[in-house]
Structure 1
Amino acid sequence: MRFERIRLRNFKPYADAELDLRDGVTVIHGLNGSGKSSLLEACFFALYGANALDETLDDIVTTGEDEAEVDLQFAHEGETFNIRRELRRSGDRIGTTICTLEGPDVAVDGATDVRAFVTDLLRMDAEAFVNCAYVRQGEVNKLINATPAQRQDTIDDLLQLGKLEEYRERAGQARLGVEDVRSERKGALAKLDSQIEAKEDADLHARLNELETKLADVDSDIERFEEQKARAEETLAEAEEVLDSHEETKATLDDLDGDIADLRETIESDEKERDELRSEIVDRRDRIDELERELESAAEKTDLEGATGADDAVDAAAVDADVLDARRESLNEREEAVREELTDARRRETMLSNQAEKLAERADELETRAEELRERASEAESTANDAESRAEERSAELAELDDEIDALRERFDDPPVAVGEATAHRESVQASLRETRESLATKRAELESARERLEEAEALRAAGKCPECGQPVDGSPHVDAIGEHEAEIADLEADIDDLEAEVDEREAALETAESLVDAESRLGNLREKRTLIESSIEDARETLRERREEAESAREEADELDAQAEEKREAAETQSAAAEDAEADVQSLEGDLDEIETERERLDRVEALRSAIDEADSEIDRLRERRQTIAEQNDERREYLQEKRERREELADAVDEERVETAKANKADAEEYLANVPEKLDELRGQRDALQNDIGGVKTSLTELESLREDRAEIAAKVEALDSVHEEISTLESTYSDLRAELRRRNVETLERMLNETFDLVYANDAYSRIRLDDEYELTVFQKDGTALDPEQLSGGERALFNLSLRCAIYRLLAEGIEGSAPMPPLILDEPTVFLDSGHVSRLVDLVEEMRRLGVAQILIVSHDDDLVAAADDLVTVEKDPTSNRSSVDRVADASLAAIEPSADD
């Protein structure tokens, strides 16, 4: 697996950065705090998300920004994948808005799914990645400082041995589960045996035969009593039928008496109604006479052609519908003609009024526009005057500006630089100052490290023996090197004094260069301002000419509009007079319509009177028909009354009192028997139900006995199968345990061999002979004389090299174990020289070269050490702008040339 490209936007100190990562050794070089480690953290964050870092999303996003983006492209097993994560602020919280992974035939969306896919693809989660391939800044001694148990868990997880322990634990849990189930089944089997024995002792079949015999006797008694009950019910029904028939006859006689009385009353009432109807007919005839007189009067007021007789008296019958329809049609035709004339008159009056109004409005508009044009002319004249004053002011300002430009040019008449070269000169001075400061920081760090080593050695010499192992320190390499440490400190202090003086000189030069840059920038601004002022003067003069022409044109147009307004107002007065004449015609025609409506109302009155007379005649006919109907109904009721009287006499003769008395006696006897028999039947039925329940219980017990025997056979078979499964799982649990122990032993042997090979390469001397890693992952260092040391007893630089050797050995073991089927991720070393002096750094270079020789495709190192820079195939530099506090990344075209350039120490 190899990183190919990382692109950042607003990630920590990077506003916008992109870097291609190549095969071989890449060194990311720069000052402390410039953002070197952030590049590798971005790659790690892209793979596993924020949970893999020791920071929150707020710490990841550049200060002052609300969103950030990381885009990583990497290759794995010949295929290319791309991960994109986008962060955005929402309120007080920053969250992941986009997280996608794209590859050949795969697209994954969502932070959780992307992290799971990467873990499965690389066969390691974030913790395994850090423990195997990513030595983060400040964690170089992580594995050495860990306890043996922690070290065992870490390496076992990397080598997938934790899976075997997980499988063994699962097998153990399965074994315990089988034991629980087997014990449960055996208990159930014993319980079933006890239940079966109890039911077999109860002699269920004999008990069933006895209960069925008793049930047959009870069923016979119930049948006999039910037959007797049925005969009693039949006798009771016959007696009740006789009695009911007697009661019905009596009720019928009572009903007939009531019907006869009702018929007599109804006949009398209807005769009274016939008399009242005769009086209503007389009243209706009087009303008709009155209406005919009103009709004659209304017809005389209406000039109806053909409505008068020989004596000039109006005949109401002669005023027929045809005459009224003809008069109404004549009125409609006259009204239609008048309304057409009225519509034309109204339209003419409206048109003339609108024309007069529009002409007046147009005159007002023309006068308003004329006034606006005169105001615009005044404004244009005022603007022209302002432009003339502005042109004069800008001309004076231009003269002052030329004097300042000449003064600034004079500053560049003498060396060190000419106009246009100040920025390049400042950058050159800054680069020299930066190099000197880096050299000073490096020397100070080396001085601090040397003083710590001297203090450790002096403390050991004063104590006389090692505080950890208790061995004498006389003749040890740490004590013998005290003189070398003192000489090294003196040289470093002298170098620091020289570098501090050089920093002061270059800071003064930088101050001068900054002032020249400011002057150059000011000169450029003044030249640009001069161009703008000249343009402003020309614009003011052009405005002066245009505005005065505009004022003259506006005045001429205003005079023309006044003349047009006067013409429109005269035309409006003419049309207004014509509109008044049209309005008089409208009023005359509306009067004609009122006369037509009055005549139509008179016709409506004649028609209403004729309709009222017809209705009164119809009502008289209806009343006569009603009197006739009542007379016919009373004749029918008299015949029905006679029939009722005859029927009553027949029923009175048919009543048999002796039969009624016999029926009453039979009913009493039957009711007494039926009142007593239910109690006896309930008793017998209760006995039958009890016997049936007992029989059902015995049959249920027989069924349960058969079921218990079947359940016992089934559980016995399961117990036998569980015994077999328990034996197999126990064997599997032992197999996992033995396999894990054997694989750990083999991996420990291989890892110990690789660790010694790597440590011998980077720390070959006369002090140490070998390193031992036992099965419990306990680490021990042996000196040449056989003395055993704990890794904590080594010096700071030795411990760092020891841990780097261990990490590289683990990386080799995983790579060889995978055998190319899943290539390892890049080997990443973040500031590995923090605890190393110059001698140990050169050994770290040897370690890097060895990992390259062993086939590690990509090694990424973050460092500001020049020795590591010399070992790089690819050099990437990181710088931070002190003004914007933003970092930038750049690749040195030729890493080998960068490595041999003289440093500040030369």
Structure 2
Amino acid sequence: MRFERIGLRNFKPYADAELDLRDGVTVIHGLNGSGKSSLLEACFFALYGARALDETLDDVVTTGEDEAEVTLEFVHEGEAFRIERRLRRSGERMQTASCTLEGPDVAVDGATDVRAFVADLLRMDAEAFVNCAYVRQGEVNKLINATPTERQDTIDDLLQLGKLEEYRDRAGQARLGVEDVLSERRGALSKLDSQIEAKEDADLHERLNGLETELASVDSEIERFEGNQSRAEDTLEDAAEILASYEETRETLEDLDADIETLRETISADESTRAELRDEIVDARERIDALEGDLAAALAETDLDAAGVDGVDEAAIDDRRETLDDEEATVREDLQDARRRATMLSNQAEKLRERAEEFESRAAEKRDRAAEAESSAESAEERVEERTAEREEVDSERQTLRDRFADSPVEVGEAEAHRESVQADRQAVRDDLADARAELSSVRERLEEARTLRDEGKCPECGQPVEGSPHVDAIGEYESEIESLERDVDALCERRDELEASLETAESLAAAETRLEALREKRSLIDDRIEDARETARERRSEAESLREGAAELDEQATEKRDAAEAQREAADEADSRVESLEAELSDIDSARERLERVEELRAEIDDEAGRIDRFRERREDLADRNDERREFLAEKRERRSDLAESIDESRIEDAKDDKADAEEYLEDVAVKLQELRERRDELQSGIGSVEGELSQLEDLRADRERLAERVGDLESLHEEISTLESTYGDLRAELRQRNVETLERMLNETFELVYGNDAYSRIRLDGEYELTVFQKDGTALEPEQLSGGERALFNLSLRCAIYRLLAEGIEGSAPMPPLILDEPTVFLDSGHVSRLVDLVEEMRSLGVNQILIVSHDDELVAAADDLVTVEKDPTTNRSSVERADDASLAAMEAADD
């Protein structure tokens, strides 16, 4: 596998950058903090997303931006792939907006699916990638500082041995599961054996025969008692029929007695009613006489001529009523006209009055508005005076600010550009100062280490004499370099202080310039407000005069309307008088009609009383006829009662009562006996069913035991097979681990011997538990931590490269490994050790590593590069750019190094 191109937009310090990555050794070169490592982090992020970050998504997006994009193109096993990840801010957090992977006949969408596809394609997740191919800055000692167990887990995972352990664990879990099921089935089998034994000991067939014999005897007894019960029920039924017939005859006699008494009472009551009706007839005749007197008096009050009560002429009454109706219609028509005229005149008067009030109200409103307009005009004139004074204050402040530019290095309008220029110069000096201080600190550390070695006389790690060592010989150079760097730091501090003072002045001028612009706009606004206030005053005074004139006109119109309303009010009063006169005429007509109606009512009451007398007479005659019929029916009832009383036989009735009592007593006793026998029969039938059920259960238990015994045998066989599989996985993992340990130990020794080139050490041992031991020539065993700083770094790089070789050569012959990535591998190396690192890189190339990416500013590594990429950061924009050196430039650098 190899990377072909990386594209960045708003990723860390890169606004927009692209870089083609070629085969061979590529060295990414640049100053500290320029963004070299960010290029490699972008490749790692493209492959594995957020899992590849030690920080959050917000931290990888360029400051001030809301979106970012990373694109990686790579080739794996001869096929091209392209990954694109886009980030976008959502609320307060940065999130993955889209993530896609495209390849031959494949398209994957979504961050999780892309990460899973890459892990499957490379056969390593993000952690394995870091442990194998990507030596990140500051992690060169990661594997040597790990415990043997951590180192074992890491390498086992890289070599896919963790899968075997996973399979062994799964087999173990399956074995435990089978053991649980087998134990459960064995317990169930034992339980079935106990149940079968208990039922076989219960003599179920003998119990069943005894119960069936007793049931036959009980059934015979029940049949005998049921026959006796039937005969007793027949006797009881015959006696009940005799007694029922007697009871029916007795009830009939009682009914006849009641009917006879009812007829006697009814006849007596009707005779009383006939006497009361005779009295009612007398009362009605008296009421007719009184009503005829009232009718004569009512006729006297009317205009009708009549000789007496019987001589009232109906036609005359009708004629009089028609005359009254005609008069009423005429008067009502006149009354309606009079009311309509009175209402019209009253409404006109009210409307004229309301109109007058409306004119008066409008006139008052106009006078109020005129007063408000005058007040508004005075307020506007006051604002003119206030704004004029404010404008004078603004002019004074503007002149003061202009005076500040008289002795300044810039004119008005140039202050902001001047401030930015001074600020950029200060930032550049600060960056130079930080670099100088970092370099000074590094040289001081090397000087201190050299002095310590010189004072000790020999290396505390290896015990070799230090006389003639490059570290000790360079003490003078270190001291001279420190003096030079301290002078540079002092000069940069002085320049920084000067620029900070200049920046304060520049910021003050920029603020004054901004204030001048604001005051200019404010003065223009004040001029506009003064003119607006003057115009408002003129308009409001003119409006007040116009309103006063309108109010005077409305007062005149209100007076005219009030005069007209008074005239209409007088005419309405005259119309009201005419209405009252006509309403009095209507009242007289109503009184005359009421008198006529009284005559008719009295005549109707007399006719009603005469009709009542006729009805009372008819009812008395009807009651007399019905009483005659009732007397004949009473004689018949008395004769029938006498015949029934003679037909009753008292001795037969007494015999029937005795038979009924005996039969009821026997039936009661036999019912109890039958109940007991039937309950016993039910118990016996239940017992038989229970025994038969137990016999059926016994057969079922025997069948279940046969099936369960067969299942236990299958589980025992399966348990044996799974145990064998679990042991096989464990043995296979141990065998493969031992083979890998032997190969890795060989490769580690080859690599370390190449890069170290020292006669002090003979070999390195890696045991089966991944414990590392370094042996000196004299056989002394050392822990890797006892090596010097540079030796430990080379030791770790050798271990990482050996693991890389093992993965590339040991998995299916030849595996498509990712590029070997080294980020600042020289941090812990001195100049002598750096040259050995160069030898290690060359060795990895010779072993077939197609692409090696190194981030470093070391000249030796730069000289060893096939391809040189330079990263620079613009101090003004704080954005980084990337550029590849052409072949001529690279050759010139190599020649200069030679």
**Range into which the TM-score falls when normalised by the shorter chain:** 0.7 to 0.9
**Residue in 1 aligned with 2:104?**
none
For residues 556 and 276 of structure 2, the distance between their equivalents in structure 1, rounded to whole angstroms, comes to 89
**Residue in 1 aligned with 2:463?**
473
After TM superposition, the structure 1 = structure 2 runs for residues 549-628 of structure 1, keeping only pairs within 5 Å, are: 549-551=538-540, 553-578=542-567, 580-581=569-570, 583-584=572-573, 587-588=576-577, 591=580, 592=582, 596=586
Q: Deviations over 1:324-378 (max 9, x none)?
A: 6996797578657745764565355345534542453344334433543454345
| TM-aligned CA deviation for residue 202 of structure 1 | 6.5
Q: How many residues align?
A: 858
Equivalent position amino acid for 1:777 in 2: Y
Task: Describe the SS at the equivalent of 2:871.
Answer: strand
**Residue in 2 aligned with 1:169?**
169
Equivalent position amino acid for 2:543 in 1: A
Q: Does 1:668 align with 2:658?
A: no
Identify the match of residue 507 of structure 2 among 505, 508, 518: 518
**Residue in 2 aligned with 1:92?**
none
**Residue in 1 aligned with 2:483?**
494
**Residue in 1 aligned with 2:216?**
216
For residues 859 and 516 of structure 2, the distance between their equivalents in structure 1, rounded to whole angstroms, comes to 46
For residues 253 and 185 of structure 2, the distance between their equivalents in structure 1, rounded to whole angstroms, comes to 88
Equivalent position amino acid for 2:699 in 1: E
Task: Describe the SS at the equivalent of 1:894.
Answer: strand
Equivalent position amino acid for 2:871 in 1: L
Identify the match of residue 434 of structure 1 among 419, 430, 437: 430
Q: Does 1:364 align with 2:361?
A: yes
Say if 1:270 and 1:74 are closer, same or farther in 2 by CA, change over 3 A. farther
Q: Deviations over 1:186-206 (max 9, x none)?
A: 454455456556656767556
After TM superposition, the structure 1 = structure 2 runs for residues 643-722 of structure 1, keeping only pairs within 5 Å, are: 643-722=636-715
| TM-aligned CA deviation for residue 226 of structure 1 | 0.7
**Residue in 2 aligned with 1:258?**
258
| TM-aligned CA deviation for residue 36 of structure 1 | 9.2
**Residue in 1 aligned with 2:716?**
723
For residues 322 and 96 of structure 2, the distance between their equivalents in structure 1, rounded to whole angstroms, comes to 93
| TM-aligned CA deviation for residue 565 of structure 1 | 2.3
For residues 137 and 600 of structure 1, the distance between their equivalents in structure 2, rounded to whole angstroms, comes to 125
Contact conserved, 1:3 with 1:73, CA < 8 A, in 2? yes
Q: Deviations over 1:573-623 (max 9, x none)?
A: 244325524653674476456865786688579769967976856877877
* More divergent stretch after superposition (535-544 vs 493-502): 535-544
Equivalent position amino acid for 1:692 in 2: Q
* More divergent stretch after superposition (226-235 vs 826-835): 826-835
After TM superposition, the structure 1 = structure 2 runs for residues 811-826 of structure 1, keeping only pairs within 5 Å, are: none
| TM-aligned CA deviation for residue 396 of structure 1 | 7.5
Say if 1:403 and 1:294 are closer, same or farther in 2 by CA, change over 3 A. same
For residues 822 and 217 of structure 2, the distance between their equivalents in structure 1, rounded to whole angstroms, comes to 104
| TM-aligned CA deviation for residue 505 of structure 1 | 2.3
**Residue in 1 aligned with 2:896?**
none
Say if 1:443 and 1:677 are closer, same or farther in 2 by CA, change over 3 A. same
For residues 848 and 612 of structure 1, the distance between their equivalents in structure 2, rounded to whole angstroms, comes to 146
| TM-aligned CA deviation for residue 216 of structure 1 | 2.7
For residues 734 and 704 of structure 1, the distance between their equivalents in structure 2, rounded to whole angstroms, comes to 44
Q: Does 1:387 align with 2:384?
A: yes
| TM-aligned CA deviation for residue 653 of structure 1 | 1.7
Q: Deviations over 1:722-754 (max 9, x none)?
A: 233223322332333234335545655666677
Equivalent position amino acid for 1:423 in 2: R
Q: Deviations over 1:50-109 (max 9, x none)?
A: 998689x9x9899xx9x99776656698465656576757xxxxxx7977656588877x
For residues 403 and 365 of structure 2, the distance between their equivalents in structure 1, rounded to whole angstroms, comes to 57
Q: Percent identity?
A: 44
Contact conserved, 1:43 with 1:72, CA < 8 A, in 2? no
For residues 372 and 497 of structure 1, the distance between their equivalents in structure 2, rounded to whole angstroms, comes to 85
Task: Describe the SS at the equivalent of 1:725.
Answer: helix
Contact conserved, 2:219 with 2:681, CA < 8 A, in 1? yes
After TM superposition, the structure 1 = structure 2 runs for residues 874-889 of structure 1, keeping only pairs within 5 Å, are: 875=871, 877=873
* More divergent stretch after superposition (328-337 vs 155-164): 328-337
Task: Describe the SS at the equivalent of 2:768.
Answer: coil
Q: Deviations over 1:771-824 (max 9, x none)?
A: 554432323345677654323223445545655665676678778899999999
After TM superposition, the structure 1 = structure 2 runs for residues 36-51 of structure 1, keeping only pairs within 5 Å, are: none
Equivalent position amino acid for 2:170 in 1: R
Contact conserved, 2:454 with 2:472, CA < 8 A, in 1? no
Say if 1:220 and 1:400 are closer, same or farther in 2 by CA, change over 3 A. closer
For residues 491 and 889 of structure 1, the distance between their equivalents in structure 2, rounded to whole angstroms, comes to 33
For residues 40 and 273 of structure 1, the distance between their equivalents in structure 2, rounded to whole angstroms, comes to 128
How high is the TM-score relative to the length of structure 2?
0.76
Q: Does 1:504 align with 2:493?
A: yes
For residues 59 and 619 of structure 2, the distance between their equivalents in structure 1, rounded to whole angstroms, comes to 109
For residues 583 and 46 of structure 1, the distance between their equivalents in structure 2, rounded to whole angstroms, comes to 105
Contact conserved, 1:46 with 1:72, CA < 8 A, in 2? no
Contact conserved, 1:85 with 1:98, CA < 8 A, in 2? yes
Contact conserved, 2:755 with 2:839, CA < 8 A, in 1? yes
| TM-aligned CA deviation for residue 49 of structure 1 | 6.9
**Residue in 2 aligned with 1:890?**
879
Task: Describe the SS at the equivalent of 1:349.
Answer: helix
Contact conserved, 1:432 with 1:506, CA < 8 A, in 2? no
Contact conserved, 2:306 with 2:312, CA < 8 A, in 1? yes
Contact conserved, 2:232 with 2:663, CA < 8 A, in 1? yes
After TM superposition, the structure 1 = structure 2 runs for residues 6-25 of structure 1, keeping only pairs within 5 Å, are: 24=21
Contact conserved, 1:744 with 1:775, CA < 8 A, in 2? yes
Gap runs ≥5 in structure 2: 74-79, 102-106, 894-898
Equivalent position amino acid for 1:174 in 2: A
Equivalent position amino acid for 2:700 in 1: S
For residues 816 and 324 of structure 1, the distance between their equivalents in structure 2, rounded to whole angstroms, comes to 139
* More divergent stretch after superposition (221-230 vs 23-32): 23-32
Q: CA RMSD in A?
A: 5.7
Task: Describe the SS at the equivalent of 1:892.
Answer: strand
Equivalent position amino acid for 2:464 in 1: D
| TM-aligned CA deviation for residue 534 of structure 1 | 5.7
Say if 1:21 and 1:212 are closer, same or farther in 2 by CA, change over 3 A. farther
Equivalent position amino acid for 2:408 in 1: R
Task: Describe the SS at the equivalent of 2:405.
Answer: helix
For residues 97 and 626 of structure 1, the distance between their equivalents in structure 2, rounded to whole angstroms, comes to 112
Contact conserved, 1:872 with 1:896, CA < 8 A, in 2? yes
Equivalent position amino acid for 2:643 in 1: E
Gap runs ≥5 in structure 1: 9-13, 90-95, 109-113, 467-471, 882-887
Say if 1:338 and 1:664 are closer, same or farther in 2 by CA, change over 3 A. same
Q: Deviations over 1:802-861 (max 9, x none)?
A: 556656766787788999999999998888776566776788899899999977989797
Identify the match of residue 411 of structure 1 among 404, 408, 422: 408
Say if 1:141 and 1:628 are closer, same or farther in 2 by CA, change over 3 A. farther
**Residue in 2 aligned with 1:885?**
none
Contact conserved, 2:34 with 2:871, CA < 8 A, in 1? no
For residues 594 and 867 of structure 1, the distance between their equivalents in structure 2, rounded to whole angstroms, comes to 139
For residues 629 and 95 of structure 2, the distance between their equivalents in structure 1, rounded to whole angstroms, comes to 102
For residues 505 and 579 of structure 2, the distance between their equivalents in structure 1, rounded to whole angstroms, comes to 100
How high is the TM-score relative to the length of structure 1?
0.75
Q: Does 1:232 align with 2:232?
A: yes
Contact conserved, 1:68 with 1:87, CA < 8 A, in 2? no
